Structures are given as structure tokens and as C-alpha cells.
Chain A
Amino acid sequence: GESVGLHLPTLSVQEGDNSIINCAYSNSASDYFIWYKQESGKGPQFIIDIRSNMDKRQGQRVTVLLNKTVKHLSLQIAATQPGDSAVYFCAENRGYGNKLVFGAGTILRVKS
């Protein structure tokens, strides 16, 4: 069945360093991917998205890379800050409006 999973459950980085969070997906028919950040007591917050016809997309301090050949998605955070500490989820979608399939999540801890 469909699944989206993460390689690492917890990532600890030093403030100012770059962070890379990885995600593997299994549904080759997925055409839209989203990264969410979830802080304690809050709902998932949109960070960045990418469609399957792209392999890279950049936002403010964040970059998402998509490798369809190996079904891999990554989120890069530049100059990680303490406020980036949260759980990060990747999610995939097949067809606009359809359900999102989430990965298990990666905890990002930023050390000052």
C-alpha cells in the first residue's frame, strides 16, 4: 500500500548549521508533496511544497528537493535557528483535493 516514511526520527543540529530532513515515499503516482512543521500544541504549518514536475524549489531559508528516480524527498533548512525546533512531516498527495499521506515525522532539535 501507499506509505511515506522518514529515515531519521530525531535530528539534533547546532544553531547556525544547516539541517537536512529526509523522506522516502512509495507511491510513484504521487504528484504533489508538502513539508509541514508542527510545534507543540499547534497544528501542522505549511512550509514548502513541490510538484512532481520539479526537482527543486526554494523558499525563505528552506529548500525542498525531489528525486523521483529513488522516490526521495528532502527538506533543507539553512542557518537553523532555535525557532526551527519542531516535528517535521512530509506528506504526499495524488490529485488535487485528495487526501494527504503523511510520514512518521522527524524531530528537529536545535542546540544553542
Chain B
Amino acid sequence: EAGVTQFPSHSVIEKGQTVTLRCDPISGHDNLYWYRRVMGKEIKFLLHFVKESKQDESGMPNNRFLAERTGGTYSTLKVQPAELEDSGVYFCASSPLTGLRYGYTFGSGTRLTVV
């Protein structure tokens, strides 16, 4: 079974540019989450999809961040325009809709550097 896949693994962009991160969850996982870790701090929740619907987007920092999950499969997280404070590692995780075994499976993350 393939795990959660994220790409790119690294992205370096200039302030003001746009970046789109992609996450492919484990097949069949209806729950999809985005988190980020900024400057070595704790991993913070951004938002949660159930299938294609946004279940909880309370962690989205501002309207420069836009997440989508068309068709309830992969998800994208767009940052436009990027600011310096957006630098960090963005993680995606998925879990099945029912049952909870082995927690939430995380991808390897996308390291975003805004210069």
C-alpha cells in the first residue's frame, strides 16, 4: 500500500510568488489533513477535508492560503502571494473515515522556503 505522497519535497520561491503543494493521500482515506511546522516549532493544524468537503479550516492563517480537494482524492494547498513567514515544512496526513488504527499517516512533507 502506497503511503501519503507529497510533492514537491522542496520549494524555494521569492516573496510575492505563488506556490502550490500537492498531497496524495492513501487510497480510500476520506480524511485528509494539512499541517505545518514553522521554524522548528510545534506541528500546527491547518485544515481538514472529509472527502471533498472542508470539515475544519480553523487553522488556516489567512486568505493567502487556499486548499482544494476536487473529487475527494488528492489535495492542493496554494499560497499566494507567499510571505517570508510562510517558510516551513508542510505536512499532509490521511486517515480512513471509520475506525482509527495506527493513527493518522503522514507524508514526508514539503519544505517551503520563501526568500
A residues within 8 Å of B by Cβ? Answer: 4, 32, 34, 36, 41-46, 49, 89, 91, 96-105
- Min Cβ gap A62→B in Å is 14
The answer to whether residues A104 and B41 also contact, given A97-B31, A97-B95, A99-B48 and a CB cut-off of 8 A, is yes
A89 and B105 alpha carbons, distance in the complex (Å): 14
B56 adjacent to A99 (CB under 8 Å) = yes
A36 and B109 alpha carbons, distance in the complex (Å): 15
Size of the chain B interface, CB-CB below 8 angstroms: 29
Q: Say yes or no: is B44 at the interface (Cβ < 8 Å to chain A).
A: yes
- Min Cβ gap A97→B in Å is 5
B4 adjacent to A43 (CB under 8 Å) = yes
Q: Say yes or no: is B1 at the interface (Cβ < 8 Å to chain A).
A: no
- Min Cβ gap A51→B in Å is 9
Q: Which residues of B contact A102 (CB under 8 A)?
A: 35, 42-44
- Min Cβ gap B94→A in Å is 11
Dominant SS among interface residues on chain B: strand
A45 and B102 alpha carbons, distance in the complex (Å): 10
Residue of A nearest to B6 (CB): A43
Q: Which residues of A contact B41 (CB under 8 A)?
A: 104
Across the A-B interface, the 5 shortest Cβ-Cβ residue pairs? A43-B106, A102-B43, A99-B45, A46-B103, A104-B42
B residues within 8 Å of A by Cβ? Answer: 4, 6, 31, 33, 35, 40-45, 48, 50, 55-56, 59, 91, 93, 95, 97, 100, 102-109
Q: Which residues of B contact A4 (CB under 8 A)?
A: 42
A36 and B31 alpha carbons, distance in the complex (Å): 19
Q: Which residues of B contact A89 (CB under 8 A)?
A: 42-43
Residue of A nearest to B105 (CB): A46
Q: Which residues of A contact B35 (CB under 8 A)?
A: 100, 102
23 A-B pairs within 8 Å (CB atoms) are namely: A32-B100, A34-B103, A42-B108, A43-B106, A43-B107, A44-B93, A45-B106, A46-B102, A46-B103, A46-B105, A49-B103, A89-B43, A91-B43, A97-B31, A97-B95, A97-B100, A98-B48, A98-B56, A99-B33, A100-B35, A100-B104, A102-B42, A102-B43
